[in-house]
Amino acid sequence: MQFLKFILNNGHTACNIGRSKIVVFGGLIDKKFLSDIFVYDIDNRSWFKPECTGTGSDGQQGPAPRAFHIAVAIDCHMFIFGGRSGSKRLGDFWVLDTDIWQWSELTSFGDLPSSRDFAAASAIGNRKIVMYGGWDGKKWLSDVYVLDTMSLEWVELSVSGSLPPPRCGHTATMVEKRLLVYGGRGGGGPIMGDLWALKGLIEEVAYYVVVLSLLWKEENESPGWTQLKLPGQAPSPCCGHTVTSGGVHLLLFGGHGTGGWLSRYDIYYNDCVVLDRVTVQWRRLPTSNERPPARAYHSMSCIGSRYLLFGGFDGKSAYGDLWWLVPEDDPIAKRMIMSPRKVIPESRNASREHDNFMSDAKENQSKTSTVSELCKRLDVSVSLSHHKLILDEVEDKDLVELASHVVGEKTPSNIQMVQALRNHWKKSSPVSIQLKELGPLLRDYQRLISRHRLQKVGLDSQPVEFSFPRRETYRYYHLQNASQLRMDDIRILLEEYKQLLQDVNED
């Protein structure tokens, strides 16, 4: 197996919707809770952001921003429950119809679960959802709820016999008729490394089975937990890991252990451990190249023989990256192996050298960046932005048109509209920047550098990173167009742009 790296947002849940797409929802970036939806189209191998409709009981469009919620797919619908927004734990219940991209807040009945975060859930067939555990702000939970997505009725399952300790940050995965629960944290004790199986979730009408001329009646099982102690190279006790089902294997990746809850002194893992359902034992999965950095609270999705890893948290900061885990004979792996490697020097220009190398490699292999794929999917044009071709503001038709759209045509002149657009960008956050704004924003960024900086130091003909007072570099002056931007570049571009506006006003 081999890991391949791409770039995307972090902090979310990720649900496979059939075999056609993966829907990423919510999460946490820089202490800000999100309600964004991003979709990976499996057939077209591209990302897009749908325009979702639908309001809740309070009139708000879609669910409130959140993280550490549960999200489960049933047919073309993604159901979400709970999670956290700031210090508040949520107990609302929503469904997203991915055929028409419409949210609906659901009013359920029965044994309603309490508000919680860090719970775990899984689909039972194509109709029901089972949820186990979590944290309600006061105590760790060990309750089991089953939701019928047709009747919208919750039922708290009464389970007899031995019970697993209450926990949160665990995983819950349906494997045939059993729910497998691994790890988590609870009760103020150490992070756990136990594996439990819950039976009795499948309600079957009694039927007769004939095997080798023998006839017997198969009845429903009573709900009950069994602790499993399997041979092999078991994973370390962990919390915030993922367990992903792929064929006869369950792949456990990442998580953290020991230390305090979400403490930066915890140990974070990047191990790949497989539970083989045929041999019924654990084994470590070797990889032939560098693994992603250790992390927890990420997501892992299975697409055929490939696994897609998103984001996560390493105790200090959140990741905004995306990785593929693929077999050695996968065409992507072969393409990467055949590509020549270039040693990146350890210097402050390493970032530029790496970006230049990756840009060349992408052109040679006819690859498109995540931003480019999003632009194509949303039919947003990305025009050239080379510094030698930078137009004056009033001659930049895309900039003026965007300004009139964003700020309206209330101002008497184009230059005043552009200034209003700059004030709009000055107040914007990275997540609020739309794809159609990236081209004009990048050009205006380069325009400000060229006009107010390069003319002063006489370097206006050099397509490289530049050093100026108050800043170490301007990283994106050399870019040809906005499609070369990666998703995590937008934050840095906006920060540098705002500093440019401030410097211009002071000049």
Structural contact between residues 129 and 144, judged by C-beta atoms closer than 8 angstroms: no
Assess whether pLDDT exceeds 50 at residue 468.
Answer: no
CA 399, distance to chain mean position in Å, is 31
Give the residue, 33 or 451, on which the prediction is more confident.
33
Give, as one character, the DSSP assignment of residue 226.
E
How many Cα atoms occupy the beta-carbon half-sphere of 108 within 13 Å? 26
Q: Are 98 and 17 in contact (CB under 8 A)?
A: yes
Q: How many CA atoms lie within 13 A of 111 on its CB side?
A: 11
DSSP string, 451-484: IIIIHHHT-TT--S-EEETTEEEETTTT-SBGGG
For Cα atoms 312, 139, 123, give the angle at the middle one, nearest 5 degrees.
Answer: 55
In the predicted model, what is the mean pLDDT of residues 334-362? 39
Residue 252 has pLDDT above 80, yes or no: yes
Tens-place pLDDT, residues 380-422? 444 333 334 567 777 888 888 888 887 776 656 888 888 889 9
E-strand stretches of 56-127: 70-74, 77-81, 84-85, 88-89, 93-97, 102-105, 109-110, 120-124
Lowest-pLDDT choice from 218-222, 296-300, 307-311: 218-222
Q: Picking from 10-14, 379-383, 435-439, 499-503, which range would have the lowest pLDDT averaged per residue?
A: 379-383
Q: Is 197 exposed, middle or buried (0-12, 13-18, 19+ CB in 10 A)?
A: middle
Would you state the structure tokens that stand for residue 281, as one six-digit string? 């034992």
Q: Which residues contact residue 47 at a Cβ distance below 8 angstroms, ignoring those fewer than 6 apart?
A: 8, 38, 39, 40, 41, 370, 373, 374, 377
Which range among 39-43, 210-214, 345-349 shows the weakest confidence by mean pLDDT?
A: 345-349
Mean pLDDT, rounded, for 193-200: 96
For 470-493, write each residue's pLDDT tens digit. 434 567 777 777 877 777 688 888
Taking CB atoms within 8 Å and a gap of at least 24, the contacts of 332-335 are 332/4, 333/2, 333/4, 335/365
Query: Is residue 459 scored above 70 in pLDDT?
Result: no
- Cα Rg, the chain, nearest whole Å: 26
Identify the three-state secondary structure at position 193: strand
pLDDT at 392: 79
Quote the tokens at residue 396.
């930049």
Is pLDDT above 60 for 205? no
Residue range 319-333: mean pLDDT, rounded: 81
pLDDT of 418 reads 87
499 has pLDDT over 80: yes
The percent of residues in the chain predicted with pLDDT above 70, rounded, is 75
Q: What is the pLDDT of residue 333?
A: 64
Q: Say whether pLDDT at 262 is over 60.
A: no
Confidence of residue 259 (pLDDT cuts 50, 70, 90): low
For residue 168, give the DSSP letter.
B
322 forms bridges with which residues in the sheet? Answer: 6, 310
- With 0.85 as the threshold, say if the pTM is over it: no
Walk me through the domains of the chain, giving residue ranges and CATH numbers: 2-338 (2.120.10.80), 369-506 (no CATH)
Lowest-confidence pick of 153-167, 235-249, 295-309, 390-404? 390-404
Instruction: Find, among 273, 258, 271, 235, the residue nearest to 315 by Cα.
Output: 258
Between CA 482 and CA 371 the distance in angstroms is 8
Closest by Cα among 108, 159, 107, 109 to 133 = 159
Within 10 Å of residue 198's Cβ, how many Cβ atoms? Answer: 23
- Integer Cα distance of 439 and 80 in angstroms: 35
pLDDT attached to residue 237: 94
Mean pLDDT for the chain?
79
- pLDDT value at residue 344: 31
| Selected residue with higher pLDDT from 369 and 421 | 421
> How much is the pLDDT for 486?
72
Q: Is the per-residue pLDDT at 375 higher than 90?
A: no
pLDDT at 365: 38
Asked if residue 101 has pLDDT above 80, the reply is yes
Instruction: Map tokens 């190249």 to a residue.
Output: 289
Question: Looking at the predicted structure, is the pLDDT value of residue 364 above 70?
Answer: no
